A and B are shown apart, each in its own frame.
Chain A
Amino acid sequence: MKTRALVTLAALLVFLVAAPAFLGGYALSVLILVLYFAYVGQAWNIMMGFAGQLSLGHALYAGLGGYVAAGLYTHYGIGPWAGVFVAVAAAVVAGGVVGALGFRFSLAGVYFALLTIAFAEFTRIGFDNWAWAGGSGGMFLKVERGVSDLVNLRGGPTMFYYVILAMAVGIFVLCRLLLESRLGRYWLAIREDAEAAQAVGVPVFWCKMLAVTISAALTALAGVWNAFYYNNLFPETAFAMGRSIEMTLSPIIGGLGTLFGPLVGAVVLTGLGELFTDISDQFHIPGLKQIFYGLALLVIIMYRPAGVWPWLAARLGFTERDK
């Protein structure tokens, strides 16, 4: 990486760490959304951007993670820092089942994607009818005002901001390490051509299994954070198709398979989302936001099919690699 890029990165980090000191409540909540989408986008990116496996059911892992940690907390008083291990384990098992079924039978592309959707839907229906998890009525965490309890993740937006910031930085570092490892290179090889990868000794099945389980585990963390931030969980939203799609947008808009893509995509998308909310509020036209949002996505995909980040990086003179 060039020094110029490093300086920019350091400045960005300083800004993010200091942000709660000078940002108002609204701006901070927007920034929280940006970091959340950057995080889950990066987690999803491991599967699609790195290993080339299209998952359209990632809400399964986030929902499962959230429900497990929230359930352990509300029913047994087990704090999220302990519950998170169980949450991650549950997501890894779910990811393992989806992966084993899909990859054993070499399902690829949209067929694999259908499998991931199916599993998210099964789980949604299951949770709709599961009393322990509150059924379709949802599960609620007790809201405690005026406390800042990091151990039980009970507190205000600033605390949640720092937690998601730490997660976002963590996943960025982790993904960089992964990409610069043998496993990461094997994922890229599988993405480009699985048959050729296997011919040069890549154990394709196991590498794909690692991609889906690592991605699921990281997504579950986001689910735990999400459950404790919003204090409620409903099967209809936690496992929703829309939730899964939402997670894929930041990396697609920002640049699939890139490290900065999910963050850039999250900034663009959340920014546009807030802007259009403002505009449609001004004109009192319901649905205007969705129309603008959809159009903006279309325009970006048309003009920057490889994502905003590769173009932006070249513009800023960061050029990651010569192309």
Chain B
Amino acid sequence: MSGARLELAGLGKSFRGLRAVHDVSFTVPAGAIHALIGPNGAGKTTIFNMIAGVYAPSAGTVSLDGRQISGLRPDRVCHAGVGRTFQIVKPFKGLSVLENVTIGALHRRPRLAEARAAAEDILKRLGLHDRRHQLAENLTLPDRKRLEVARALATEPKLLLLDEVMAGLRPTEVDVMVAFLRELNAETGLTVLLIEHVMRAVMALAAHVTVVSYGEKIAEGTPAEISRHQAVLDVYLGEEEPA
């Protein structure tokens, strides 16, 4: 497993005249952790869905290691090396935790026994191994979030898209997830793009941050730069009241 470079060039999406995303470009180098932040409704998830193949962009392209992936079906995008989680988690509810992850692993390992072994390894790493025989619908929300990550990782992606996996987690759980992602990134060089509102996680993880508002990119830089950027403070982060 190693990372791939993601490049978004002039990406745009309109839904029947409603401009959800307009002319967004940024590049995530191979092996980097990059965050996409912005107010609710800014178009972050729409950008994710264009990368993952759920929507075909109205304008612009998405490429992975120089190969265009925009316009492909989601399963082909997965095959090209993109794993994703869903903001509103989508576990296979009626199946066990192990089966959920096994189905992800089947993509690269067609034999059930091998896929299951790979799934067990991932579950151990994410601390879900004890719960592997539980039905996914019986998991708590933090565990479901972890299951989303586990299932996406099972497809052995080169780029992992994480859509608010920290939302709803307690600060200690956020730290655990952050530590896991850091370790994974350091070990495998997997490229990570995350949408996140939990700034604690963004600051701890991301080398670079892209900020979108009303469908357009308004800033890009290191977390430190972003947290001082006037436009970002105006539309999203807000300023501390003078005492």
Contacts and interface: CB of A to CB of B under 8 A. Distances in A.
User: Which secondary structure characterizes the binding site on chain A?
Assistant: helix
A5 to B, nearest CB: 18
Given A200-B104, A204-B75, A192 B155 contact: no
A203 B75 contact: yes
Contacts of A185: 99, 102-103, 106, 112
Contacts of B54: 195
A188 B112 contact: no
Interface stretch (B15-23, B89-97, B175-183): B89-97
A130 B84 CA distance: 53
B86 A199 contact: yes
A278 interface: no
Nearest to B107: A201
Interface in A158-187: 180-182, 185-186
Contacts of B104: 200-201
B96 A200 contact: no
B154 interface: yes
Contact of A196 (B86, B94, B107, B112): B86
A311 B69 CA distance: 47
A259 interface: no
A188 B92 CA distance: 8
Interface residues of A, number: 23
B52 interface: yes
B98 to A, nearest CB: 10
17 contacts: A185-B99, A188-B99, A188-B103, A189-B95, A192-B93, A193-B91, A195-B86, A196-B91, A199-B52, A199-B75, A199-B83, A199-B84, A199-B86, A200-B152, A200-B155, A201-B79, A323-B135
Interface of B: 52, 54, 73-75, 78-79, 83-84, 86, 90-96, 99, 102-104, 106-107, 110-112, 115, 133, 135, 151-152, 154-155
Interface of A: 180-182, 185-186, 188-189, 191-193, 195-204, 321-323
